[in-house]
Amino acid sequence: MTPASFHPGPGLKAGFDPAGSPAGGDRRQWLTALILPRPVIIVTACLLAITAHRVESIGVQPITFQPLYMTRVWGGRTLEEVYARDLPDSQPYGESWEITDRSNEQSVVTAGEMAGLTLHDLWTQRREEIFGEGLQGERFPLLIKILDARDDLSIQVHPPAKVAPRLGGEPKTEMWYIAEALPGARLYLGLRNGVTREQFETALTEGTVDQVVHAVEPRTGQSIFIPSGRLHSIGAGFLIYEIQQNSDTTYRVFDWNRVGLDGNPRDLHIPESLDCIDFHDLEPGMDTPDGSTLASCDHFTVDQLDLPPGAVVGNPDPDRFSIVTVVKGGLRDRDGRTFAAGNFLLLPRGAEQLEATSATSLLQTTIPR
Instruction: Confirm whether 323 is domain-assigned.
Output: yes
User: Does residue 213 share a domain with residue 176?
Assistant: yes
Same domain, 166 and 247: yes
Whether 123 is in a domain gets the answer no
Residue percentage of the chain with pLDDT more than 90: 81
**pLDDT confidence band for 1 (50 / 70 / 90):** very low
15 pLDDT exceeds 50? no
Contacts within 8 Å (CB) and 24+ apart, 337-342:
337/62, 337/111, 339/62, 339/64, 341/82, 341/83, 342/82, 342/83, 342/85, 342/146, 342/179
More confident residue, 4 or 316: 316
Residue 135, domain member (yes or no): no
CATH number for the domain spanning 188: value is: 2.60.120.10
Q: Is residue 111 part of a domain?
A: no
**Over the chain, what is the mean pLDDT?**
88
Examine the domain organization and report whether 279 and 303 are in the same domain. Answer: no
Catalytic: which of 72, 150, 186, 252? 252
Q: Between 30 and 362, where is the model more confident?
A: 362
Q: In what order do the strands lie in the sheet with 354-356?
A: 312-313, 354-356, 330-332, 338-340
Asked if residue 362 and residue 276 are part of one domain, the reply reads: no
Domain that holds residue 305: 296-366
* Percentage of the chain lying above the pLDDT 70 cut: 84
Residue 125 in any domain: the answer is no
**Same domain, yes or no: 147 and 282:** yes
Note the pLDDT of residue 257.
Answer: 83
Q: How far apart are CA 211 and CA 92, in angstroms?
A: 27
206 and 325 housed in the same domain? no
Show which of 249, 269, 288 is a domain's final residue.
288
Contact 174, 232 (CB under 8 A): no
**Domain termination site, one of 234, 263, 288:** 288
Q: Count up the domains in the chain and report the number.
A: 3
Do residues 47 and 120 lie in contact, with contact meaning Cβ atoms separated by under 8 Å?
Answer: no
| Residues in CB range of 227: below 8 A, 6 or more apart | 160, 173, 278, 297
Question: Is 186 an annotated catalytic residue?
Answer: no
- Helix 37-60 crosses helix 24-35 at what angle (to 10 degrees)? 10
